[in-house]
Structure 1
């Protein structure tokens, strides 16, 4: 008898449903979520989070089996995506604040970050230049090619702007031998935030200790075109304890341009170019108020 069969025998559920990677069982003893046990020791993680006065995670009901864990089931109230994202980012800021600390880093840590982002910017620059040369060699441009060419100067300016801000950031952190880290969920999505009688983050399998800006950056990559992000970023920055270099690095990462792909499928090409440009323009509007504020202070 495998563990799930044993759970069925013990709990005698009257309803079993699948919800993502979890199996939801409803029985006379209550409602529970059964998930395959991950390589991450979530019990140890949750004990640490509880010690740090953060309880935004589902309670473990039973972790005694080698292949599954049983969690409390947390109801999720339906709400608009923008509101849910705002509530989620408040909880994420609390997670980062409760678990943050200064960590010593080697002397070349910031140099590695600088060189990595610089390489990314150089890759985009060369790729855009290649696309421009190839498109201009055509007698007639397709709609997707024309859309890219029409905005190519804007994209090059975006790369130059990111490089300028990256140089300023590197000058501000040169010689610093510590960085601010915290527990990061590392898998944020609206599906992984539940809010009913209480609010929790689920799916902690990829969690780690790193710079807290990773959570915001990765979430923005997923949802930039789907939700209104200005209020979300403003709320996070107002609650979180990000230092100025971390805040500036986050803005730089958000402003990085996108990879554009042209294929034989003109509809797909137009969609790819259009979505990439929408991302660039939306991010410019998102970041502009923070850079204007910095310019005033200088």
Structure 2
């Protein structure tokens, strides 16, 4: 139920769009606005100055590029996309509701397709700053060494106890896998650095910043559209994929085959270069979240051992799923290269098409 004070707020905001609401339905952060002009979605956001600027840049850039697979943001009568009230920001969109039932697999697939389209259409090339990349490589390599050393010290401490805690026992059980994952991260970091050193340009795109199945909507014809560009930023397309798959893998054990179709769907519309692919693998293989969790555990034992164990277990499942995912993609690429070399078939040219780096 909408409080009268809130209703007055929304009325005052909608005046700037020349809209008189007949009824306002509270849908959380989104208000469903009924009016004789139609049905609208008034979204409440909390944007810093930088987020606000990036949001506006994204909306304007996508419009200029002719990308139409986003729910449009309406301007106020004085030409603004965002209006402010009481330290909050609001923006208005058409209400999109298809009434069509979309299963989760299709929703995820459409999300990756639209992300790929957005990355492809907003891609820019810039000259590579090799000293900066070399400094980054050295820093990330040092972090891998630090994590491995921390794991070795922690297992020594755990094994010196007569009785381990459940958290310590779980860590020790997966210690070797953790070390292998960091070795995998190092291998891919080195491959990325070797490839980037041979290039003169890198590719940057507009990243959505929060790819989620809740951020794609469908119209009555089943067409999909992206929403929520409040966390957008400009960087390598790898970062959108990394954040997406990191969240996707953070659940119960699963087969890498669940994620492979999503990766294929993305690369069908926006092929990754070799260096971008290695950069993605590096980020997926590193275990920095587990490292932070162990540091926190050592500094102060948590009030709930059960919660700490559950969080560690989810991070370990995430690590295993990512490792299997990387291996599956590498196996597919090797099979394609073999098929091309023997003349038995043609691959999809992974790593070809774009010549830019993250």
Structure 2 length-normalised TM: 0.74
TM-superposed CA distance for 1:36, in Å, is 4.6
The match for 1:267 is: 306
Preserved CA contact (<8 Å) 1:229 1:286: yes
Aligned-residue RMSD, C-alpha: 2.6
Q: Rate the CA distance shift 1:290–1:6 in 2: closer, same or farther, 3 A.
A: same
Preserved CA contact (<8 Å) 2:191 2:275: no
The match for 1:133 is: 156
Identify the match of residue 22 of structure 1 among 30, 33, 37.
30
Q: Matches of 2:101 and 2:305 in 1, distance apart? A: 37
Counterpart check, 1:236 vs 2:301: no
Counterpart check, 1:249 vs 2:279: yes
Q: Matches of 2:28 and 2:324 in 1, distance apart? A: 35
Q: Matches of 2:235 and 2:187 in 1, distance apart? A: 25
Counterpart check, 1:61 vs 2:77: no
List runs of 5+ in structure 1 lacking aligned partners.
none
Structure 1 length-normalised TM: 0.88
Paired residues for 1:196-215 under 5 Å: 196-197=219-220, 198-215=223-240
Instruction: Figure out how many residues of one structure are paired with residues of the other and give that number.
Output: 298
TM-superposed CA distance for 1:215, in Å, is 0.8
Q: Rate the CA distance shift 1:120–1:43 in 2: closer, same or farther, 3 A.
A: same
TM-superposed CA distance for 1:95, in Å, is 0.6
List runs of 5+ in structure 2 lacking aligned partners.
85-89, 339-358
TM-superposed CA distance for 1:107, in Å, is 2.2
Q: Matches of 2:143 and 2:332 in 1, distance apart? A: 27
SS in structure 2 at match of 1:233 = helix
Question: Higher mean Cα deviation, 70-79 or 156-165?
Answer: 70-79
Preserved CA contact (<8 Å) 1:33 1:73: yes
Q: Matches of 1:19 and 1:123 in 2, distance apart? A: 46
Q: Matches of 1:40 and 1:33 in 2, distance apart? A: 21
Paired residues for 1:54-203 under 5 Å: 54-63=67-76, 64=78, 66-67=83-84, 68-75=90-97, 77-197=100-220, 198-203=223-228
- 1:79-123 CA-to-partner distances (Å, cap 9, x unmatched) read 333321111000111111111121113222322332343233223
Paired residues for 1:37-56 under 5 Å: 38=47, 39-40=52-53, 42=55, 45-56=58-69
Preserved CA contact (<8 Å) 1:84 1:190: yes
The match for 1:291 is: 330
Question: Higher mean Cα deviation, 208-217 or 61-70?
Answer: 61-70
